Structure 1
């Protein structure tokens, strides 16, 4: 018998950060991050990442958080179309009311469920919510463009440090059968090894760069180097305020909110699988490659016919 507890469903909601960035005001801040002065970029990034806190901040506190003067904050507010700081803060609050209402409802639902307060249960609930947010916010046209770039690239480089290095390794493994040449940039090495791999990157290549809070500075620097060489940059990250978002030609978002960890990798893993599947079925040739790959390794899988698994060598029976 299926119980109500077993039928738990996580609503399909975009993450608050992505939803805010997709609003008219959020899009304006994203443009400032790309085109504005250094001080304006700092303020825009702070607002995109800390929009929830802004409603409770005084102008002096915001200036301190952005490491600029209060006069610079006031000028920024006027530059993006508001009379003063208070008007800008009110506009952010208005956007947040629509963005956060469904998210807060989801969080309240999680807290009321059986097992609320149990870290393991709460962690799994947030993982499910992040995956649902990724699905809800996924731009299929953007995913298709990424697949197109991967298919036509001379070399696909995949980069991630720390926990993201494991995600990079998994993505590289998925891409290898379907791309002419795939290089896992960091591998078992560090920045020096990664820089060596990227030394010869060109405009014919694609760099897929992966990073989540806490972002690795070296990832940002190496992505910037690849961009200076005119390579296509694909970023897999958590939110529009990520430093990788403004560096990328194409961005795939995987929210990483978690009540304890600095970031959850569940949605990133799901997005990697979604990208791999989209690539696999993108053309008949790839479908044929997948079939040949399955056939080639089937003899080495558990449960395969023992006779087909035997190979010449000292252990083969005569």
Structure 2
């Protein structure tokens, strides 16, 4: 299964009776025609063009107010390089590219502004709580949309079933998601390793020393991305393991290192990252693995029987 240059995103509709939360500006912009062109540059462009494309995708709103000199200084490239980049993505020059981004963002931000205006009328604290709840529901909905087609999920399950060893890796908050995923998968996977678990980077690196072709690494990382996760994922790629990324955006540095990308948006008005969608992604993957063959269902039943005497049974 190959990594696509863009995610299969569909922005939720906006109803008058009940306002839904829009996806993050970054993710919504990446799903536009211009965003997809920039993602293609990130996948196949030169080093300087990849840097420019990533900066545009990460900062679409800010870029619309920046002159060519501002952007050149921020990225560390020349004005001429930016002009060539603009022409490469279909514009006459940087001013036209900036205007194209502004026009694209008008459509992207319209539902966001509608949501924000409703919060402005409420108590600020309650508004932040409401916005967090709305964002979480939107993130969960988009995971459901992503998994509903079934093709990506079924291909991934087939790969996991065929893997020599499955490694699951997450640092910081992502370590908790990795733990849940490992706990859920272990009855159905003969060789499964939680890379971080109770250790740090050194322990994780040691557990990956035998990783190679035929193995799968499921790497989990969200803002603020742990450098250790990125370095060890690059190591896994160099060892020809298949890398599955569970991350927040197609522009995530983890996504750029992966063969298969599962997107779980994590934006939150207060927290640095929300893990709710990532937990749903992990639970969906465990469910799909459990139901992938009859033996797994039998294993689950055997596990229930084995531990039943230790559980409260009213």
Shorter-chain-normalised TM-score: which range?
0.7 to 0.9
Aligned 1:219-258 pairs, distance under 5 A: 219-258=229-268
Pairwise CA distance, 1:17: 2.8
Pairwise CA distance, 1:197: 0.8
Question: Which segment drifts farther, 56-65 or 41-50?
Answer: 56-65
Pairwise CA distance, 1:111: 4.9
Does the Cα contact within 8 Å between 2:21 and 2:115 map onto a contact in 1?
A: no
* SS of equivalent residue, structure 2 residue 243: strand
Match of 2:223 among 203, 213, 224: 213
Match of 1:63 among 51, 72, 97: 72
In 1, distance between residues paired with 2:243 and 2:91?
34
In 2, distance between residues paired with 1:260 and 1:158?
28
After superposition, the Cα gap between the structure-2 partners of 1:182 and 1:263, relative to the gap in structure 1 and judged at 3 Å, is same
Does the Cα contact within 8 Å between 1:14 and 1:132 map onto a contact in 2?
A: no
In 2, distance between residues paired with 1:239 and 1:111?
28
Pairwise CA distance, 1:303: 2.1
Aligned 1:1-318 pairs, distance under 5 A: 11=20, 13-112=22-121, 117-118=125-126, 119-138=128-147, 140-303=150-313
Q: Where in structure 1 are there 5+ consecutive unaligned residues?
A: 1-7, 305-318
Pairwise CA distance, 1:165: 1.0
Pairwise CA distance, 1:278: 1.9
What TM-score results when the alignment is normalised by the length of structure 1? 0.85
| Number of the residue aligned with 1:316 | none
Pairwise CA distance, 1:124: 3.0
* SS of equivalent residue, structure 2 residue 169: strand
* SS of equivalent residue, structure 2 residue 254: coil
Does the Cα contact within 8 Å between 1:12 and 1:132 map onto a contact in 2?
A: no
Question: Which segment drifts farther, 131-140 or 245-254?
Answer: 131-140
* SS of equivalent residue, structure 2 residue 218: strand
* SS of equivalent residue, structure 1 residue 226: helix
After superposition, the Cα gap between the structure-2 partners of 1:293 and 1:285, relative to the gap in structure 1 and judged at 3 Å, is same
Q: Where in structure 2 are there 5+ consecutive unaligned residues?
A: 1-16
After superposition, the Cα gap between the structure-2 partners of 1:122 and 1:198, relative to the gap in structure 1 and judged at 3 Å, is same
In 2, distance between residues paired with 1:105 and 1:290?
46
Does the Cα contact within 8 Å between 1:11 and 1:132 map onto a contact in 2?
A: no
After superposition, the Cα gap between the structure-2 partners of 1:288 and 1:19, relative to the gap in structure 1 and judged at 3 Å, is farther
From the CA coordinates, give the structure whose radius of gyration is larger. Answer: 1
Question: Which segment drifts farther, 94-103 or 248-257?
Answer: 94-103
Pairwise CA distance, 1:137: 4.4
What TM-score results when the alignment is normalised by the length of structure 2? 0.86
In 2, distance between residues paired with 1:279 and 1:108?
43
Question: Which segment drifts farther, 252-261 or 32-41?
Answer: 32-41
* SS of equivalent residue, structure 1 residue 215: coil
In 2, distance between residues paired with 1:56 and 1:111?
24
In 1, distance between residues paired with 2:95 and 2:150?
38
Pairwise CA distance, 1:14: 4.4
In 2, distance between residues paired with 1:274 and 1:17?
25
